[in-house]
């Protein structure tokens, strides 16, 4: 079977979790005999893969190329149009007036999606494939164009929605419309959790029969990785938060819980790794609470640094307000770090050897942090069983489920 897969990014040219999912999923699919042609809008000229065919649309059709090459990497899987355009404005200010005039064309992220759709339509008419599989809403216009041009069945893969990114408070109507159009144009929809399935049914009017739940798997990590914890005393216990510092991830609940933990135990350090629009507010709030000496804000951390932080942490906390899945706890557990996760997350559906909390219950979060830090038997039990659990979550299973969806699509196509 041949699959035309559309994604906005792929390692090493990636910015978010969707890129990593695409990497592991495509590799597992190819190991099962699926021939994948992966199409992305931008990327290095010489990008190659030893297991699948990669096409960079911008390289194939230079006459249709989006002219702002220098800022293509600014758009990540979870970027909002507002944040993208903010970075774009900064970029414009760094240019000469002549270069700035050229760069103005196509500065809108929606324009990028529209141009990608034109190129994918041409690619689809030249490539041989049985099924179209599109990740992330920015690829949905391209997926629809490919379906209309070829008549091939389409599955869209929903990793996150506009409601999850914004907490439902400031939904961008144009993003919502793009998401909804893609979902309703698709023959079937893959979602990463039952949490997201319910979201699609409630907020996008997608019928139950159309949705298939395929949970993500865990990413293998290096067990030999080490970290230079120079700012941390040997007696300190480490509580870790990693993620975008935005409303969706619940950083404010992490800070309030930290205050309550420190009222009971002063030998605790809190690391809040990541960047986002709430970071200045979190730093200010930590100062207001008088616990600034107990917090470390390392800013953005790459994947190697994430592994190192997980290695030294005594407990990882994910207090997300709305988390479609949540791979970060799996990364922590693979480094033998006990995890406390929000019940308002997709990953809570599949994990048993973690402690679960409601994101808003800072008293419960604090109590569970203290329990893991101070009861060695509890910590060891969660650590050992969690490691076994996460090691069993390989990408073979979601790949198998995707193949089942492909076969179902082809059967529907034949009228079976």
User: Rounded distance, CA 297 to CA 305, Å?
Assistant: 13
For residue 78, is pLDDT > 90?
Answer: no
315 with 259, same domain?
yes
Q: What is the pLDDT of residue 100?
A: 39
Number of domains in the chain: 2
Which of 53-57, 165-169, 254-258 shows the lowest per-residue confidence on average (mean pLDDT)?
165-169
Helix (H), strand (E), coil (C) string for the chain: CEEEEECCCECCECCCHHHHHHHHHHHHHHHCCCEEEEEECCCCCCCCCCCCEEEEHHHHCHHHCCCCHHHHHHCCCCCCHHHHHHHHHHHHHCCCHHHHHHHCCCCCHHHHHHHHHHHHHHHHHHCCCCEEEEECHHHHHHHHHHHHHHCCCEEEEECCCHHHHHCCCCCCHHHHHHHHHHHHHCCEEEECCHHHHHHHHHHCCCCHHHEEECCCCCCCCCCCCCCCCCCCCCCCEEEEEECCCCHHHCHHHHHHHHHHHHHHCCCEEEEEECCCCCHHHHHHHHHHCCCHHHEEEEECCCHHHHHHHHHHCCEEEECCCCECCCCHHHHHHHCCCCEEEECCECHHHCCCCCEEECCCCHHHHHHHHHHHHHCHHHHHHHHHHHHHHHHCCCCHHHHHHHHHHHHHHHHHHHCC
> Between 102 and 317, where is the model more confident?
317
Confidence of residue 10 (pLDDT cuts 50, 70, 90): confident
148 with 190, same domain?
yes
23 with 165, same domain?
yes
Q: What is the pLDDT of residue 14?
A: 67
277 with 341, same domain?
yes
Q: What is the pLDDT of residue 363?
A: 98
Say if 230 falls within a structural domain.
no
Q: What is the pLDDT of residue 15?
A: 62
CATH number at residue 404: 3.40.50.2000
36 with 155, same domain?
yes
For residue 223, is pLDDT > 90?
Answer: no
Whole-prediction pTM: 0.84
155 with 250, same domain?
no
For the stretch 380-415, pLDDT in tens is 999 999 999 999 999 999 999 999 999 999 999 887
171 with 289, same domain?
no
For the stretch 252-272, pLDDT in tens is 999 999 999 999 999 999 999
Q: What is the pLDDT of residue 86?
A: 55
86 with 175, same domain?
yes
CB 29 within 8 A of CB 3: yes
Confidence of residue 226 (pLDDT cuts 50, 70, 90): low
Say if 407 falls within a structural domain.
yes
Checking phi first, is residue 151 left (phi over 0); if not, alpha (psi -120 to 50) or beta? left
Say if 134 falls within a structural domain.
yes
For residue 12, is pLDDT > 80?
Answer: no
Q: What is the pLDDT of residue 191?
A: 98
Q: What is the pLDDT of residue 75?
A: 44
Q: What is the pLDDT of residue 70?
A: 38
Q: What is the pLDDT of residue 9?
A: 86
> Between 104 and 237, where is the model more confident?
237
State percent of the chain over pLDDT 90: 70
What's the whole-number average pLDDT of the chain?
87
Say if 58 falls within a structural domain.
yes
366 with 378, same domain?
yes
260 with 213, same domain?
no
For the stretch 334-392, pLDDT in tens is 999 999 999 999 999 999 999 999 999 999 999 999 999 999 999 999 999 999 999 99
> Between 16 and 293, where is the model more confident?
293
Say if 77 falls within a structural domain.
yes
Q: What is the pLDDT of residue 66?
A: 41
Domain extent at residue 136: 2-217+395-414
Say if 223 falls within a structural domain.
no
Say if 406 falls within a structural domain.
yes
Q: What is the pLDDT of residue 60?
A: 86
270 with 359, same domain?
yes
For residue 130, is pLDDT > 90?
Answer: yes
Confidence of residue 76 (pLDDT cuts 50, 70, 90): very low
Say if 369 falls within a structural domain.
yes
> Between 256 and 173, where is the model more confident?
256
178 with 308, same domain?
no
């Amino acid at each position: 079977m041949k699959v035309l897969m559309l994604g906005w990014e792929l390692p090493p040219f990636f910015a978010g979790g969707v890129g990593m999912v695409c990497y592991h999923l495509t590799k597992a699919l190819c190991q099962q005999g699926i021939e994948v042609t992966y199409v992305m809008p931008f990327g290095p000229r010489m990008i190659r893969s030893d297991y699948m065919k990669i096409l960079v649309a911008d390289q194939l059709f230079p006459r249709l190329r989006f002219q702002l090459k220098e800022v293509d990497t600014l758009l990540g899987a979870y970027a909002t149009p507002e944040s993208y355009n903010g970075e774009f404005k900064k970029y414009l200010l760094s240019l000469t007036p002549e270069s700035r005039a050229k760069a103005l064309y196509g500065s809108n992220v929606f324009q990028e999606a529209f141009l990608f759709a034109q190129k994918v339509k041409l690619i689809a008419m030249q490539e041989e494939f049985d099924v179209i599989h599109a990740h992330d809403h920015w690829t949905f216009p391209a997926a629809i164009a490919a379906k209309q041009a070829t008549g091939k069945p389409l599955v869209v893969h929903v990793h996150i929605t506009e409601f999850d990114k914004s907490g439902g408070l400031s939904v961008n109507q144009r993003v919502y419309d793009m998401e909804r159009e893609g979902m309703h144009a698709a023959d079937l929809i893959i979602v990463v959790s039952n949490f997201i399935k319910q979201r699609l049914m409630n907020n996008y009017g997608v019928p139950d029969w159309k949705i298939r739940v395929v949970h993500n798997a865990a990413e293998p990590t290096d067990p030999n990785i080490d970290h230079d914890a120079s700012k941390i005393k040997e007696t300190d216990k480490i509580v870790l938060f990693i993620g975008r510092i935005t409303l969706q991830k619940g950083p404010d609940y992490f800070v309030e819980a930290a205050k309550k933990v420190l009222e009971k135990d002063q030998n605790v350090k809190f690391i809040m790794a990541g960047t986002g629009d709430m970071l200045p507010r979190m730093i200010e709030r930590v100062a207001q609470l008088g616990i600034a000496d107990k917090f470390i804000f390392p800013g953005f951390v790459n994947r190697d640094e994430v592994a190192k932080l997980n290695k030294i942490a005594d407990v990882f906390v994910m207090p997300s307000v709305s988390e479609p899945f949540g791979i970060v706890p799996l990364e922590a557990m693979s480094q033998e770090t006990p995890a406390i996760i929000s019940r308002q997350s997709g990953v809570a559906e599949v994990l048993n050897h973690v402690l679960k909390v409601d994101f808003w219950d800072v008293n419960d979060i604090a109590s569970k942090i203290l329990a893991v830090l101070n009861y060695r038997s509890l910590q060891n039990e969660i650590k050992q069983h969690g490691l076994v659990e996460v090691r069993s979550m390989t990408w073979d299973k979601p790949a198998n489920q995707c193949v089942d969806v492909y076969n179902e699509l082809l059967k529907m196509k034949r009228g079976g």
